[in-house]
Amino acid sequence: MKIESFGKTLEGQEVTCYTLKNRNGMTLKLMNLGATMVSLLVKDKDGVFRDVILGYDDPAQYQRQTCYFGAVIGRNANRIAGAACELDGQVYYLEQNDNGNNLHSGKNGFHNVLWDAEAAEGKDNQITFTYLSRDMEQGFPGNMKAKVVYTLTDADEMLIDYSADTDKTTVANFTNHAYYNLGGHDAGSIEEHVLSIKADYYTPVTSPKAIPAGTLAKVSDTPMDFTMSKKIGRDIGADFIQLKYAGGYDHNYVLDTKHGIMKLAAVAECEKTGIAMDFYTDCMGIQFYSGNFIKRHPGKSGAFYDFRHGFCLEPQYYPNSVNDEKFASPILHPGETYTAHTKVKFYQKK
């Protein structure tokens, strides 16, 4: 495994990069700031390797941006209404960083801390990141031991396995916030990508603040329907209130009623490069985000990123589920272990 410096944080801390590679040449580069995916090289239909995730050339750029490119999100992914939640009868107040809500656990979230890293003995294709989140960090109670394991298989699969335990009742709802562009990170708009999402329902939101109403809505006969493959941009401009609230897609799709059952959640393809991916998760929901709030700015290797230049598939509990009794709870108690698993298989279509 290649281990090298990736520069320093704004605070002057050294950041390290780790490169995983399988026998087919697929290569995943990660850094310990945020346990973040920095690059992912995948072969296209002509045998050319393309970097299919958006990112930056140094840690300081990751810290300055607000897109969470490639990072692990925790303790809680997505939004908590009013930036407050009740645990064991006590209300905990969190950072308000998104229209009065808490988004992705605030500025001190897992995306912005240095993780410990350990390469698997005798393996060049796996690395484990661990982090001890102290009691009341981010505003959540409990000392939480978090772990994320990345693995590249020789079947061109990327595995992400999460786990955590705590000594006080808290929230555990992790995800990865990679922005994919299967044409290459510098290829521009993803609206021509073809996508399917294996969900008959989604959780509609009540306003641009993007907090779910606590109900499930059918995708059928609406622009939210991805049960059959279609281009991301086909219906994205439709006169539909949910799309207007978010400026496009930024919604949780309902995959299953149980956490822990692995299933195919989505399939995406760039017809131009032939790169396709099957996205599996054992989470209950998956947030599909079409990159509506990316503003033009420089990315890695001289690229410029802009509106809808990447899309996200974020497996997780439903947004604001810690406050909504109608949704399955992300609350983790002492003695329990939180787990979640993601598998992304890449392949080429001629």
Residue 75 clears pLDDT 90, i.e. is over it: yes
Q: Is 314 known to be catalytic?
A: yes
Catalytic residue, chosen from 177, 193, 251, 309, is 177
pTM exceeds cut of 0.75: yes
Extract the tokens encoding 171.
């929230």
Extract the tokens encoding 216.
């499930």
Domains of the chain in start order, with CATH, are 2-348 (2.70.98.10)
Q: Is 11 known to be catalytic?
A: no
**pLDDT band with cut points at 50, 70 and 90 for residue 350:** confident
Contacts of 171 (CB under 8 A, 6+ apart): 75, 76, 85, 87, 140, 322, 330, 331, 332
Question: What gap in Å lies between CA 181 and CA 238, rounded to an integer?
Answer: 23
Q: Are the CB atoms for 51 and 63 separated by under 8 Å?
A: no
Lookup result for tokens 């985000």: 289
Catalytic residue, chosen from 137, 191, 269, 314, is 314
Which tens digit of pLDDT belongs to each residue from 233-279?
999 999 999 999 999 999 999 998 788 999 999 999 999 999 999 99
Q: Average pLDDT over the chain, rounded to whole? A: 97
- pLDDT in the model for residue 236: 98
Q: Are the CB atoms for 263 and 217 separated by under 8 Å?
A: no
Residue 63 clears pLDDT 80, i.e. is over it: yes
- pLDDT in the model for residue 2: 93
Residue 23 clears pLDDT 90, i.e. is over it: yes
Lookup result for tokens 């897609």: 249
What proportion of the chain, given as a percentage, has pLDDT over 90? Answer: 96
37 strand-pairing partners: 30
CA torsion sign for 318, 319, 325, 331 is positive
